[in-house]
Structure 1
Amino acid sequence: MKPAVTPFQRIPDDELSWLGTDPVPAKPYYDPAYFELERRAVFLKSWIHVGHVCELAEPGSFVRRDLEFARASLLIVRGRDGQVRAFHNVCPHRGTRLVDEAAGRQAKFSCPYHMWTFGTDGALLSAPDFEAFRLDKKDCALREVALQECGGMLFVNFDPDAAPLRAWLGSYAERLEQMPVAQATTFAEYTYEIAANWKLTYDNFQENYHLRFIHPRSGGAGIGGDNQFGYPASMGFEGPHRTQRIWANPEPDLKPFQRAATMRGIPALAEQGLLDLPYGRDYLAFFPNLFVIGTPTQPFSHTVYPISADRSRGVVRVYWVGEDRDASQRFAREYSLAQIRDIHCEDIAMIERGQSGLSSGALDHIHFQSMEALCRHLFNEVDRRVQEQACETGEVA
């Protein structure tokens, strides 16, 4: 006998009306002047996700991260003392970029222009004919950027007056630490560039209103029964961050290979104690541009980086604990990433079509319904900061 299925209960509209119900202006989704204010008010003053500690397992391990919104290239490295630091990937002599490699491991970093050489802690170790500069080596270290970690995730902040990361994340810090990503030792990723504003791109992944139209086959597990739009079971908001609990279809329409891929990964998850996690159905959206899914069979993060007013780059990562134990687990993991990528590929063209329409200037406003509350919340949080920035500088938002 099948267990009784609890009927889906839609979140009442009046519980979300505090976010507002009016249309929102379309211009912030394509206007270069607004993007410039947004860049300074949001991205240069927020904690931005840039990686995971498992990428930097040993002293000397490094990754390079290029962040267009900050016009910066960062060198993130684990020092000999075990500490992970972020530096501008810039030689303080004449500004030459130190590292071109995306990742690697080395004991020191030498500028290819004049061979100034730095340790993994950023200190200047040597420079040819350094006496002629009449400088102290301690004053010539690599310029550091604030970097902190939570739940294995690495964040940087370009604001020297920023509050600590945990204060920024609030209670979501503890939730992140109880997700599979916090235990991850490896991951697979893919990146994409899209001709769309970062908010328009990000919003596609915070609402389910489109699932039945864009993903009728690939997203079938998230819609059905008395929830034909796959709306979330609940939503929550804390400061600039937001969450939703993903609704689970009790009778998903899975193909045999989909069911096999899911089942083959479960034994290893059970051994690792990852099947019964408190936030296993939760989607955590960290302001401004990161979200993390906690489901143990497919834990992943998605970060959307702004490039310009109408272009962005996304990085999607699926996280795992340990190496593949056998062919079945390898199959399950490969399918996990492939499924996310296949679903995402169905979104890209539609997001770009939306950007094309908005950039034409045809619309003065766009509309969010109540179940698109996470999209409205993001807009509200961004726009409030942009308007404050404009007021301080006398610019027009």
Structure 2
Amino acid sequence: MHGERPGFQGMSDDSLAWLGTAPIPAAPYHDSAWFELEREAVFRRAWLQLGHVCELPDSGSFIRREIEALNVSLLIVRGRDGEIRAFHNVCTHRGTQLVEEESGRRGTFSCPYHRWSFGTDGALLAAPDFDRFFIDKADCALPRVALDICGGLIFVHLGTPDKGLRDDLGPYAAMLDGFPAAQATTFSEYVYEIDANWKLTYDNFQENYHLRFIHPRSGAPAVGEDNPFGYPVKMGFHGPHRTQTIWTNPDPAPKPVQAQSFGRAARFAMADGTTGPHSRDYLALFPNFFILGSPAQPFSHTVWPIDARRSRGVIRLYWKGEDDCASRRYAREYAMASARDIHAEDRDVIEAGQRGLNSGALKHIHFQAQEALCRHLFTAVDDRVQAYRAERASATPPLRAEAMA
């Protein structure tokens, strides 16, 4: 079989052939018309990861989230009953956005325009001179958005989901419950913008083929003589979602500061009880979220489209407990600094790829067998875009005879 080397037993090329081997159209990575289809076919019809329950510790705690590609602003609130709900951040009087703060705590939400006031459950509580509107307050509640939680992570669905989140994730729901993020009480975060299509950006973190060329120092422990490209031990697929198990180098030879810092993080993780069976697993949840099970670097990354050629990434490291000593603070700071350093090495080459695609010189791009996760994402997106096209075509009303005369 292809792809196997002595001492390393990974996924054979033959076992991944069901995904196909044909070239991939290049246009979906830069074309504005295709991006417009993705907005509706993918992002308005999928569960989207937007936050974590630790951000909403108390009744009245809220976060605001913008989904720029859909022109959507959401208000996610923990109600008096403890339930977390999501609403469109829009007053039902005349559409004014209720909240500008990114987060906070309130007992009510009042529109700045005419002071319509809403409860944490979205109900309209009061509105000046309301008798002149000839409507019931019950009909003026904030528009609700489907929300579900798995592994401590908050997901929303802007359409009408045909299945709940856990059913959609299948076996990956239980995996997510076992990741360190499920126990998190705090997190580190940084946000970046990049001149690259969201899929091109996301794909960089789905394949290891580039490690030895882009990360010869920072990524050196992830490759070895028996596995010079750091290919995963295995990959898995469920519907539009995918996973891989990261190879463990038997002789990683980390730099002294790496060994010291990640060693401290691992010891804290053991003391905190955040270690588990998925420490080498990576989940890529459709369409734009992935997360690592590593307790020493519990890393998540969401890549949001801005337009056909730009995207925004949100990178988080989830932690249990606050920084209670200098060693814990150091280990966490190093984990985030390390993540940022590695990402900084990726950035230029991702943008260079986008500039090349923007030229239109290529009609197709190519994925090798071990870039299977990239191919799987493209196929999942393409399937939904083609289904949306067919749905839209079938819904187009026939031309009236009078109009044709």
The two structures have a TM-score, normalised by structure 2, of 0.94
Match of 1:29 in 2: 29
Question: What's the CA shift for 1:233?
Answer: 0.9
Match of 2:53 in 1: 53
Question: What's the CA shift for 1:161?
Answer: 4.2
Question: What's the CA shift for 1:263?
Answer: 1.7
Q: Deviations over 1:80-139 (max 9, x none)?
A: 110000110000111001100011111111111111111111111111111111111111
**Between the two proteins, what is the percent identity of the paired residues?**
62
Match of 2:131 in 1: 131
Whole-angstrom CA distance in 2 between matches of 1:162 and 1:236 = 23
Shift >4 Å, 4+ stretches? none
Q: Secondary structure at the match of 2:341?
A: helix
| Pair 1:156-2:170 in alignment | no
Gaps of at least 5 residues in structure 1 are 1-5
Match of 1:181 in 2: 181
Match of 2:88 in 1: 88
> In the TM superposition, what are the counterparts of 1:1-397 in structure 2 within 5 Å?
7-275=7-275, 277-394=276-393
Amino acid at match of 2:376: H
Whole-angstrom CA distance in 1 between matches of 2:389 and 2:308 = 17
1:45–1:162 Cα contact (<8 Å) kept: no
Question: What's the CA shift for 1:274?
Answer: 2.5
Amino acid at match of 2:28: P
Q: Secondary structure at the match of 2:302?
A: strand
Q: Secondary structure at the match of 2:142?
A: coil
Whole-angstrom CA distance in 2 between matches of 1:92 and 1:10 = 55
Whole-angstrom CA distance in 2 between matches of 1:108 and 1:220 = 52
Question: What's the CA shift for 1:76?
Answer: 0.4
Question: What's the CA shift for 1:270?
Answer: 1.5
Amino acid at match of 2:231: Y
Whole-angstrom CA distance in 1 between matches of 2:136 and 2:393 = 41
Q: Secondary structure at the match of 2:290?
A: strand
Q: Deviations over 1:297-342 (max 9, x none)?
A: 1111101111111111110100111111210011000000110111
Whole-angstrom CA distance in 2 between matches of 1:117 and 1:48 = 28
Q: Secondary structure at the match of 1:394?
A: helix
1:225–1:249 Cα contact (<8 Å) kept: no
Q: Secondary structure at the match of 1:328?
A: helix
Amino acid at match of 1:151: G
Gaps of at least 5 residues in structure 2 are 1-5, 395-405
Whole-angstrom CA distance in 2 between matches of 1:252 and 1:271 = 24
Amino acid at match of 1:345: A
2:278–2:294 Cα contact (<8 Å) kept: yes
The two structures have a TM-score, normalised by structure 1, of 0.96
The two structures, once aligned, show a CA RMSD in angstroms of 1.2
Whole-angstrom CA distance in 2 between matches of 1:160 and 1:394 = 20
Whole-angstrom CA distance in 1 between matches of 2:382 and 2:318 = 32
2:301–2:316 Cα contact (<8 Å) kept: yes
Q: Deviations over 1:139-176 (max 9, x none)?
A: 11111100100010100001124311111111100010
Amino acid at match of 2:62: F
Whole-angstrom CA distance in 1 between matches of 2:285 and 2:245 = 15
Amino acid at match of 1:217: R
